[in-house]
Amino acid sequence: MTNPARQPAPNHPPGSFVEVYRIGRGTEKTLLARCVLQQDGTARCVGDANFIRELTTGITLVYPTPRSFLPADGLAFLQALQSAYQSAYINATDIQPPSAGEQAASTGTVSSNR
């Protein structure tokens, strides 16, 4: 059974995702993580094991009031990624819509790469 408070917004269905990149010289980008909104309203992230470990401890935003977001917060977590990672070195994408394949994958279990 899913928690109604965690239900994704209609414009961000399960399979919607955010990618976080490390920015290198010039146009060089390295994918650090991809976090996908799941059917149960949570987010699951795959990517660099060390970065994923950091994400699972939560993202803290201090404005307007301090608050931490965990993958269990689903859409709010994806939105927090966008706010937390907007720098010259690490950048998160806007929330992207799912493709048909991503929607199917959002019902499965995803783990970090080692």
**The model's pTM:** 0.78
| Selection from 28, 58, 33 nearest residue 111 by Cα | 33
Per-residue pLDDT of 81-113, as tens digits, reads 999 999 999 999 999 999 755 544 444 443 444
Are residues 85 and 77 in contact, defined by beta-carbon separation less than 8 angstroms?
A: no
- Give yes or no for residue 61 having a pLDDT over 80: yes
Q: Quick count: other Cβ atoms within 10 Å of Cβ 91?
A: 16
Q: Which residue has the tokens 């993580």?
A: 33
**Per-domain residue ranges for the chain?**
13-94
Model confidence band, residue 51 (pLDDT cutoffs 50, 70, 90)? very high
